C-alpha cells in the first residue's frame, strides 16, 4: 500500500506523462479521445485517493522529498488535510473537464494546441497544492501559470486573444514577483525555504503585515481580487470552454489555497487589522465583480466576472475567520473558515457546470454573444435544464449548495458583535449588506443570462437551428448538477468532512453536524439558527405536488396554444425582445451611473426621417481607466525617454559609463 | 404532539386567510375612496373562476413557464408555513431561519422573473428586469433588519425570536422601532404595493409584478395570484411575530392559549390590513428610479438600528 502522497505524486507523474504523449500524437485521430479518457482516469484516481485521505485520518500529514530542484534543498511535497481538500477540488474539476472534453474536444479546431497543455495544467495545479517548500511552490505556480497561458493562447488568431494572453502574462509575472518577495520575507535572513521551518519561525508584526499585503497582491491577482482582476475576464473566456471551467472553477481556488497556506498556516497567529483589509477587499470584489457581470453581453465573460464575485465572497469569509482567530474565538473562526472552504467547493462545482453549459451553447450555435441567442430551451432541453440548476445554485437559492455556504457566512457575520474591536463591529454589518447586495445582483445577473440565452425567441438562425450536444458533455454537466443538489441538501456531511482542516489550521472546529436531527445544520446552537436543506427540498416538492394534484383534480384541464398576448401588441421581430443590455438597464441606471459612469445616448430621428433610431450605451471601466491606463502610460513615456539612450555616440556612452562608475564608487565610499 | 397540530393548522390557516386578507385590504381601500368595492370574498371567487377557465399558452412557452406557477406557489407556501402566526411551537421551525425564509422567497422570485422572460415579449422583460432591481435594493436592507433583530434576540430562528420578544421584558427600543419601519418599507417593495408598485394597475408601463405575469392565464394565473396573497400574509405575519408578539401562544401553553393566539392573530391581520390600505390610499406611486431612495432609506434605518445597539444595549 503506497502512502497517500506517493499516490498523488504518481498521478501527477501520470498527467505529465500524458502531456508528453499528447505532444507526440496530438495530430492523430484518436488523440482527443485517448488523452481525455486517460486524464479522466488519472484525475478520478487522484480524487478518490484525496477523498479517502480527508475522510480517513488526516491528523498526521505524509511527506515526500524528491532529489530535484535546488541542490541543498530538494523538492518537498506534503499531503495534509488542507491540501487534500484542495486536491479534491482540483481533481473533481479535472475529471469533470476531461469528461466534458471527451465530447467537446472533438469540435476543437486546433487540438494540438490544447491536448498537451491540458494534462500539464492539471498536473501543475496538483503540484502547487502538494508543494511543501517555497521553491517548489513558486516553480509549480509558474508552471501552472504558463500552461494555462498556453491554453489561453490556443486560439491565438481570434481577435482579442493575443491581448488577453499579454495582459495575463504581465499580471501573472507581477503576481509571482509578489509571491517571491513574500516567501523571501518569510524565509528571513537564514534562508530556510521549507514550509516546516517557516511555520516554526516566529515573524515580527512588520514582516507579517508585509507578507499579508504581498500575498493579497500575489495570490489575489491570480484569484481575481479587485483591482487586480483585469486579466481574468479577458483570459478565462479566451480558452476552450472546459479549460475556462478549470481556470475559473479550479485555478482561482488554487490561488486561494496559496493565500490560506501562507496567511493562516505559515504566518502564525493573525492580527486583527489584517482582517479589516481582507474584508474590505473581499466586499468590494464581490459587488464590483457582479456589477461588471451584469453589464456584460458575452456569456463566457459574464461567467468570468461572476467568478470575481465569488472570490470576493470567499475572501469575506476568510477575513471573518482572520478576525475571529485574531481574538482567540476558535469556534467562530472555524465557522467562517468552513464557510469559505464550502464556498470554494461549491463554486468549483457550479462555475464548472456553467462554463460547460456556455461551451455546449458555443458548440451548438457558435455564438457567445447572448444577444444572438435565445429560445435554446426548446432546442437543447437537457443542457438548458442543467444550466438552470447551475444558475439557481450560483444565485444562492435554497435548496441548492450556493445558499448553504452564503448562509454560513451570514451566520458567522451575525456573531461579529462579540468581537472587541469597534472597527470590526461597525464594519461587519456594512460588509454583510454589501454581500446581500451582491447576492441579489447575482440572482439578477443569472436571470438575465439564462433568460436571454435560453428563454424567449431565437434571435439568430444559429440559435433557431441549434441541436443538443453529445452525451459525454451532458453527463459531465449532469454529474456536477447532481453534486450541486447533494451538497445543498446534505450540507452537514460536507461540514463534518471539513472539520479536520479547521482543527489543523485554526485549532478549533464547528460542532459535529452528524448529531443534529434530520440532517439539519446548526453552526452554533439550534436555538440560534439552523437550516435543513433536505427538508426544505422535501417540503417544496411535497407542496408543489399537492398543488399540482389539487389543480389536476379540481381545475379545468383545458389548454389552448395561441400567439403571445403582450397586451394585444405582438412584435414579430425577435430582435425587439428584451436583450441583455435592456435587461440590465434598471440596474445600470441605479448602480452603473455610480460605478461605471454609465450613460445612455438615444439618437431618435425626427418624424419623416427614415434612418433607424439608435441607443448607445456609454460605460467606463473605472479601474482600468484610473489605475492601469496611467501606469501603462507612465511606463510607455519613461521607456520613450530611455529609448534615446540607445542612439548615443560612442563618446557619450563612454562618459555615461564613467559617470556611473564614479557615482557608484562615491556611494560605496559614503556607505562604508 | 401539539407541535404537529400547530404546524398543520398553520399551513391550512395561511391558505384560508390569505385571499381574505387581500380582499379585506381591497375593500377598505375602496371604502376609503367612497366606493362600494367588491365583497371581501371576491379573491376566493376570482381564484375559483380562474381555476375553471382554460389556459391560453403562448406558442413558444416552454416547460419552465408551465412549472413556474407551482414552484413559486410551493416556495412561498413553505416559507409562510415556517413564520409563526398564532403560536411559536411549530414542528419544523428549525428547518429554516429568517435568512433561509427570505431566500425561499428569493427562489420564488427567481423563477417568476425567468417565466417573465420565457415568452419573449417586451412586457415580460420590463417586469422581470425591474423586479430583480427592486430585489437588489431590498435585500441589503432586509439583511440589516435581520442583523438588528438577531442582536436583540440572539437568534435568527423566528420561534426563538418570538419567544424571546414575547415572554421576557424587552421594552420599547429605538432600534427595534427603526427595524420595524425598515421592514415595513421592504415589505411594501417585496409585495409590489404602493408606493413601489401598484397592485391594481393593468396595461401600463409602470407596472412591475403584473407585467411579469402578463402572459399567464387560467389555473397558472390562479397559482401565481394565490402565491402573491400568501406573500402579503407572510410579511404581515413576520412583522407581527417579531415586533408585536403580543398574545402569541408560546410553546407548552394549553389549548386556550392557542385559541386566544388565533383570535389575536386575526385581529392583528385586520389591523395591519387596515393600516396598509390607509397608507396606500394616502400615498402616491413613485417613479421607478425613485426606488433607490426609498429602499436606501430602509437600508440606512437598518444600519442605524444596528449601530445604535452597539452604542448602547438598552436602545
In this complex, the residue of B122, B130, B223 whose CB is nearest that of residue A577 is: B122
Nearest CA in chain B to A540: B74
Cell numbers at A646, concatenated: 540607445
Q: How far is A243 from chain B (nearest CA, A)?
A: 29
DSSP E strand stretches across A240-396: none
Instruction: Tell me, yes or no, if A540 comes closer than 8 A to chain B by beta carbon.
Output: yes
Check CB contact of A577 with chain B, cutoff 8 Å: yes
Backbone angles phi, psi at A196, to 5 degrees: -65, -40
Q: Do A433 and B144 touch (CB under 8 A)?
A: yes
Closest residue to B110, CB basis, from A429, A443, A564: A443
Which of B55, B203, B310 has its CB closest to that of A567?
B203
CB-based contact, A548 to chain B, within 8 Å? yes
Q: Give the pLDDT mean for B264-283.
A: 95
Nearest to B77 by CA among B199, B223, B183: B223
Rg (CA), chain B: 19
- Residues A610-635: tens digit of each pLDDT: 998 898 999 999 999 999 999 999 99
Nearest-by-CA chain B residue for A380 = B62
Residue numbers of chain A with a pLDDT score lower than 70:
1-2, 58
**Whether A530 and B94 lie within 8 Å, measured CB to CB:** yes
In chain A, which residues have their Cβ closer than 8 Å to the Cβ of B141?
433
Query: Which residue in the set B56, B132, B303 is minimally distant from A443, CB to CB?
Result: B132
* Residue A8 and residue A130 in contact, taking contact as beta carbons nearer than 8 Å: yes
Mind giving me the DSSP string for A336-359? HHHHHHHHHHHHHHHHHHHHHHHH
Q: Which residue of A293, A385, A456 to mutate against B (max B Cβ within 10 Å)?
A: A456
Record the cell numbers describing residue A170, joined without a space. Answer: 504581465
**Spatial separation of the C-alpha atoms in residues A142 and A339, rounded to whole Å:** 29
Residue A375 touches chain B, beta carbons under 8 Å: yes
Q: Which residue in chain B has the smallest CA separation from A426?
A: B307
Q: DSSP secondary structure string, B224-238? A: HHHHHHHHHHHHHHH
pLDDT attached to residue A140: 95
pLDDT given for residue A190 in this prediction: 77
Residue B171 confidence (pLDDT): 67
Which pLDDT belongs to residue A517? Answer: 76
Collect all residues with Cβ–Cβ distance below 8 Å to A55 and sequence separation of at least 6.
Answer: A497
In whole angstroms, give the CA distance from residue A136 to residue A293: 36
pLDDT score, position B55: 94
Residue B24 near residue B229, CB atoms below 8 Å: no
In this complex, do A544 and B130 lie within 8 Å of one another by their Cβ atoms?
Answer: no
Answer yes or no: are the C-beta atoms of A431 and A283 closer than 8 Å: yes
Nearest to A397 among B56, B110, B138 (CB): B110
In the numeric block, which cell numbers belong to residue A29? 485521430
Say how far apart CA A375 and CA B102 lie, in whole Å.
30
Q: Are A452 and B117 a contacting pair at CB < 8 A?
A: yes
Strands (DSSP E) along chain B, which ranges? Answer: 55-58
At B285, list the grid cell. Answer: 406611486
Given a cut of 60, whether residue B314 has pLDDT beyond it is no
Q: Does A578 touch chain B (CB under 8 A)?
A: yes
* Distance from the B112 Cα atom to the nearest Cα atom in chain A, whole angstroms: 10
Determine the longest span between alpha carbons in chain A, in angstroms: 102
Average confidence score pLDDT of chain B: 90
A400 touches chain B (CB under 8 A): no
Q: Judge whether A305 and A293 are in contact, CB under 8 Å.
A: yes
CB–CB contact B215 A564 (8 Å): yes
- In this structure, the strands spanning A614-618 and A599-603 are antiparallel
Q: Is A575 on the interface with B (CB under 8 A)?
A: no
Distance of CA A468 to the CA centre of its chain: 27
Å between B32 CA and nearest CA of chain A? 30
- Asked if A532 lies within 8 A of B96 by C-beta distance, the reply is yes
E-assigned strand segments in B19-133: 55-58
Q: Alpha helices, DSSP H only, in A224-298?
A: 232-238, 241-246, 252-260, 272-295
Which chain B residue has the Cα nearest residue A574? B120
Pairwise CB contact (< 8 Å): A532 & B94 = yes
8 A C-beta contact, residue A388 and residue A450: yes
Residues of A in contact with B150 (CB under 8 A): 414
Mean pLDDT throughout B156-170? 80
pLDDT score recorded for residue A189: 80
**Smallest Cβ distance to A583: which of B119, B125, B289?**
B125
Query: Which residue does chain B place closest to A578, by CA atoms?
Result: B125
Q: Between chains, do B151 and A565 touch, taking CB under 8 Å as contact? A: no
Whether residue A529 lies within 8 A of chain B, CB to CB, comes out as yes
The answer to pTM > 0.90 is yes
CA distance, residue B84 to nearest chain A CA (Å): 15
A472: contact with B, CB 8 A cutoff: no
ipTM of model:
0.95
pLDDT at A58: 66
The angle formed by the CA atoms of residues A488, A490 and A495, to the nearest 5 degrees, is: 95
Predicted pLDDT of residue B246: 82
Q: Mark yes or no for CB contact A561/B58 under 8 Å.
A: yes
Q: In which residue are the cell numbers 429568517 written?
A: B98
Q: What angle do CA B309, A277, A444 make, to 5 degrees?
A: 75
Contact (CB<8Å) B140/A437: yes
Q: What are phi and psi of A458, to 5 degrees?
A: -60, 135
* B61 within 8 A of B111, measured Cβ to Cβ: no
Q: What is the pLDDT of residue A672?
A: 78
Residue A617 φ/ψ, nearest 5 degrees: -105, 125
Identify the residue among A380, A543, A563 best suited for mutation to test binding to B, counting B beta carbons within 10 A and taking the highest.
A543
Cell numbers that stand for A483 in this block: 453534486
Note whether A413 contacts B99, CB cutoff 8 Å. Answer: no
Q: Is the pLDDT of residue B201 over 80?
A: no
List A residues 202-231 in contact with B (Cβ-Cβ < 8 A): none
Cα nearest neighbour of A553 on chain B: B51
Mind telling me how many Å the CA of A11 is from chain B's nearest CA? 41
| A547/B70 touch (CB, cutoff 8 Å), yes or no | yes
Determine the average pLDDT of the residues in B294-311: 91
Tell me the torsion sign for CA atoms B32, B37, B40, B44.
negative
* Contact criterion met (CB < 8 Å) for A440 and B132: yes
**Taking CB atoms and an 8 Å cutoff, what residues of chain B touch A574?**
120
- Residue B179 CA to residue B183 CA, distance in Å, equals 6
Cα separation, A317 vs A523, in Å, equals 14
- The secondary element (H helix, E strand) that includes residue A560 is strand A559-562
For chain B, what percent of residues have pLDDT higher than 70? Answer: 95
Closest residue in A to B149 (Cα) is: A414
Hey, are the CB atoms on B52 and A543 less than 8 Å from each other? no
Identify whether the C-beta of residue A2 lies closer than 8 Å to the C-beta of residue A46: no
CA distance B56 to chain A (A): 5
Amino acid at each position: 500500500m503506497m502512502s497517500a502522497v506517493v499516490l498523488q505524486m504518481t498521478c501527477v507523474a501520470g498527467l505529465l506523462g500524458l502531456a508528453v504523449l499528447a505532444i507526440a500524437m496530438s495530430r492523430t485521430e484518436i488523440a482527443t479521445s485517448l488523452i481525455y479518457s486517460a486524464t479522466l482516469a488519472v484525475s478520478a484516481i487522484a480524487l478518490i485517493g484525496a477523498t479517502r485521505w480527508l475522510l480517513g485520518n488526516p491528523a498526521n500529514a505524509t511527506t515526500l522529498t524528491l532529489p530535484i530542484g535546488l541542490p541543498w534543498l530538494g523538492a518537498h511535497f506534503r499531503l495534509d488535510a488542507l491540501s487534500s481538500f484542495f486536491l479534491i477540488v482540483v481533481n473533481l474539476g479535472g475529471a469533470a473537464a476531461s469528461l466534458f472534453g471527451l465530447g467537446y474536444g472533438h469540435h476543437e479546431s486546433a487540438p494540438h494546441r490544447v491536448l498537451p497543455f491540458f494534462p500539464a495544467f492539471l498536473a501543475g495545479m496538483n503540484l502547487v497544492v502538494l508543494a511543501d517548500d517555497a521553491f517548489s511552490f513558486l516553480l509549480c505556480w509558474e508552471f501552472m501559470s504558463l500552461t494555462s497561458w498556453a491554453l489561453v493562447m490556443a486560439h491565438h488568431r481570434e481577435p482579442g486573444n493575443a491581448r488577453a494572453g499579454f495582459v495575463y502574462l504581465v499580471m501573472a509575472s507581477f503576481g509571482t514577483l509578489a509571491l517571491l518577495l513574500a516567501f523571501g520575507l518569510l524565509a528571513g535572513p537564514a534562508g530556510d525555504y521549507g514550509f516546516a521551518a517557516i511555520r516554526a519561525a516566529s515573524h515580527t508584526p512588520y514582516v507579517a503585515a508585509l507578507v499579508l499585503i504581498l500575498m493579497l497582491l500575489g495570490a489575489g491577482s491570480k484569484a481575481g481580487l479587485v483591482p487586480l482582476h483585469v486579466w481574468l475576464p479577458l483570459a478565462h473566456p479566451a480558452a476552450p470552454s472546459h479549460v475556462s471551467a478549470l481556470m475559473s472553477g479550479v485555478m482561482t481556488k488554487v490561488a486561494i489555497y496559496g493565500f490560506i497556506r501562507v496567511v493562516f498556516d505559515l504566518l502564525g497567529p493573525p492580527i486583527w487589522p489584517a482582517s479589516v483589509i481582507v474584508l474590505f477587499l473581499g466586499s468590494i470584489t464581490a459587488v464590483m465583480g457582479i456589477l461588471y457581470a451584469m453589464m456584460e453581453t458575452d456569456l463566457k465573460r459574464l461567467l468570468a466576472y461572476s467568478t470575481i464575485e465569488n472570490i470576493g465572497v470567499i475572501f469575506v469569509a476568510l477575513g471573518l475567520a482572520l478576525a475571529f482567530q485574531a481574538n482567540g474565538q476558535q469556534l467562530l473562526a472555524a465557522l467562517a473558515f468552513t464557510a469559505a472552504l464550502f464556498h470554494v467547493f461549491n463554486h468549483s462545482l457550479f462555475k464548472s457546470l456553467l462554463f460547460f453549459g456556455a461551451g455546449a451553447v458555443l458548440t451548438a450555435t457558435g455564438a457567445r454573444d447572448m444577444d444572438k441567442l435565445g429560445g435554446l430551451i426548446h432546442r437543447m432541453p437537457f443542457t438548458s435544464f442543467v444550466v438552470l440548476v447551475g444558475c439557481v445554485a450560483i444565485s444562492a437559492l435554497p435548496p441548492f449548495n450556493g445558499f448553504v455556504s452564503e448562509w454560513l457566512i451570514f451566520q458567522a457575520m451575525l456573531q461579529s458583535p462579540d468581537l472587541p474591536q469597534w472597527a470590526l463591529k461597525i464594519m461587519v454589518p456594512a460588509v454583510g449588506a454589501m454581500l446581500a447586495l451582491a447576492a441579489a445582483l447575482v440572482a439578477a445577473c443569472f436571470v438575465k443570462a439564462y433568460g436571454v440565452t435560453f428563454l424567449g425567441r431565437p434571435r439568430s438562425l444559429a440559435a433557431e437551428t441549434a441541436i443538443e450536444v453529445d452525451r459525454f458533455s451532458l453527463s459531465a454537466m449532469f454529474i456536477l448538477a447532481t453534486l450541486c443538489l447533494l451538497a445543498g441538501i446534505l450540507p452537514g456531511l460536507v461540514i463534518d468532512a471539513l472539520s479536520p482542516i479547521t482543527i489543523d489550521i485554526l485549532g478549533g472546529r464547528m460542532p459535529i453536524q452528524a448529531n443534529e436531527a434530520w440532517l439539519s445544520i446548526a453552526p452554533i446552537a439550534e436555538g440560534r439558527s439552523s437550516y435543513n436543506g433536505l427538508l426544505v427540498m422535501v417540503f417544496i416538492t411535497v407542496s408543489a405536488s399537492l398543488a399540482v394534484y389539487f389543480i389536476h383534480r379540481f381545475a379545468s384541464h383545458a389548454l389552448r396554444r395561441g400567439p403571445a398576448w403582450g397586451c394585444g401588441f405582438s412584435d414579430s421581430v425577435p430582435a425587439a425582445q428584451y436583450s441583455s443590455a435592456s435587461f440590465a438597464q434598471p440596474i445600470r441606471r441605479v448602480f452603473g451611473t455610480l460605478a461605471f459612469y454609465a450613460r445612455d445616448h438615444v439618437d431618435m430621428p425626427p418624424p419623416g426621417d427614415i434612418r433607424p433610431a439608435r441607443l448607445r450605451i456609454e460605460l467606463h471601466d473605472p479601474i482600468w481607466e484610473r489605475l492601469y491606463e496611467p501606469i501603462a502610460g507612465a511606463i510607455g513615456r519613461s521607456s520613450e525617454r530611455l529609448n534615446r539612450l540607445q542612439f548615443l555616440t560612442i563618446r557619450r556612452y563612454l562618459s555615461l559609463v564613467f559617470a556611473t562608475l564614479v557615482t557608484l564608487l562615491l556611494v560605496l565610499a559614503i556607505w562604508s | 404532539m401539539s407541535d404537529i397540530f400547530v404546524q398543520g393548522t398553520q399551513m391550512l390557516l395561511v391558505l384560508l386567510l390569505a385571499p381574505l386578507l387581500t380582499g379585506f385590504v381591497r375593500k377598505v381601500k375602496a371604502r376609503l375612496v367612497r366606493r362600494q368595492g367588491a365583497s371581501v370574498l371576491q379573491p376566493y371567487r376570482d381564484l375559483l373562476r380562474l381555476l375553471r377557465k382554460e389556459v391560453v399558452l403562448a406558442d413558444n412557452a416552454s416547460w419552465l413557464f408551465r412549472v413556474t406557477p407551482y414552484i413559486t406557489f410551493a416556495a412561498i407556501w413553505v416559507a409562510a408555513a415556517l413564520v409563526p402566526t398564532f403560536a411559536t411551537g411549530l414542528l419544523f421551525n428549525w428547518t429554516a431561519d429568517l435568512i433561509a425564509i427570505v431566500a425561499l422567497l428569493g427562489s420564488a422570485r427567481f423563477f417568476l422573473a425567468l417565466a417573465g422572460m420565457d415568452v419573449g415579449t417586451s412586457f415580460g422583460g420590463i417586469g422581470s428586469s425591474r423586479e430583480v432591481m427592486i430585489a437588489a435594493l431590498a435585500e441589503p436592507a432586509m439583511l440589516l433588519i435581520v442583523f438588528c433583530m438577531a442582536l436583540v434576540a440572539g437568534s435568527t430562528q423566528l420561534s426563538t425570536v418570538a419567544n424571546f420578544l414575547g415572554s421576557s421584558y424587552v421594552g420599547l427600543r429605538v432600534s427595534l422601532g427603526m427595524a420595524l419601519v425598515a421592514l415595513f418599507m421592504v415589505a411594501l417593495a417585496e409585495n409590489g404595493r404602493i408606493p413601489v408598485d401598484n397592485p391594481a394597475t393593468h396595461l401600463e408601463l409602470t407596472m412591475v409584478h403584473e407585467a411579469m405575469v402578463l402572459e399567464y392565464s387560467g389555473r397558472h394565473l390562479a397559482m401565481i395570484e394565490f402565491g402573491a396573497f400568501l406573500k402579503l400574509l407572510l410579511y404581515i405575519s413576520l412583522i407581527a411575530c417579531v415586533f408585536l408578539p403580543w398574545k402569541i401562544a408560546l410553546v407548552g401553553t394549553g389549548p386556550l392559549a392557542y385559541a386566544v393566539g388565533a383570535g389575536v392573530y386575526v385581529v392583528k391581520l385586520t389591523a395591519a390590513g387596515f393600516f396598509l390600505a390607509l397608507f396606500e390610499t394616502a400615498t402616491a406611486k413613485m417613479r421607478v428610479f425613485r426606488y433607490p431612495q426609498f429602499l436606501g432609506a430602509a437600508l440606512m434605518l437598518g444600519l442605524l438600528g444596528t449601530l445604535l445597539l452597539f452604542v448602547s444595549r438598552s436602545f
